């Protein structure tokens, strides 16, 4: 029909953007906490009592790490909105693991957030690489 060739209204375009974001949020699933802790053991010392027992502990530790690494509250909030709170906490744990190799933790988190919004970033490969390094897999080669 002719209406298919006409530009969509701003309202319809906005609805499509919201649908795409909600679909993207559905695809960002949290990883098992045990896997995260094996891949990112450094964050444990920032948890309540120096350990991480659950997602709440990890998210609390991530806020402490955010501050310790000089990541702004707004950068972390943006990450939480784009990735979800659990995945943003995992991203902070991963950044802490590699802090010695990252010039600006805040800039790096903002880049990951931007890439997440564009559908170009997944925590999975990052976690798997850290898991390999922290399980000694890289040393055996």
Phi, psi (deg, nearest 5) at residue 5: -90, -15
Q: Token pair of 125, please?
A: 């490969």
Cβ burial of 44 (10 Å; 0-12, 13-18, 19+) is middle
d(CA 39, CA 23): 27
d(CA 111, CA 118): 11
Judge whether 51 lies within some domain: yes
Judge whether 105 lies within some domain: yes
Write down the number of H helices and E strands in the chain.
8, 0
Judge whether 88 lies within some domain: yes
Judge whether 129 lies within some domain: yes
Entry pTM: 0.77
Q: Write down the pLDDT at residue 11.
A: 54
* pLDDT tens-place string over residues 77-103: 999 999 999 999 999 999 999 999 999
Judge whether 7 lies within some domain: no
* pLDDT tens-place string over residues 28-63: 567 899 999 999 999 999 999 999 999 999 999 999
- pLDDT reading at 141 higher than 80: no
Judge whether 25 lies within some domain: no
Q: How many structural domains does the chain have? A: 1
Judge whether 80 lies within some domain: yes
Judge whether 8 lies within some domain: no
Q: Write down the pLDDT at residue 6.
A: 46
Domain containing residue 61:
30-140
């Amino acid at each position: 029909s002719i209406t298919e060739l006409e530009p969509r209204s701003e309202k319809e375009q906005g609805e499509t953007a919201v649908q795409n974001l909600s679909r993207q949020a559905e695809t960002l699933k949290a990883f098992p906490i045990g896997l995260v802790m094996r891949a990112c053991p450094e964050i444990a010392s920032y948890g309540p009592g120096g350990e991480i027992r659950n997602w709440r502990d990890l998210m609390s530790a991530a806020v402490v790490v955010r501050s310790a690494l000089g990541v702004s509250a707004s950068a972390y909030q943006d990450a939480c909105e784009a990735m979800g709170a659990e995945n943003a906490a995992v991203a902070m744990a991963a950044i802490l693991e590699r802090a010695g190799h990252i010039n600006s933790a805040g800039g790096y988190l903002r880049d990951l957030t931007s890439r997440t919004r564009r559908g170009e970033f997944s925590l999975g490969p990052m976690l798997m690489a850290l898991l390999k390094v922290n399980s000694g897999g890289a040393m055996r080669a």
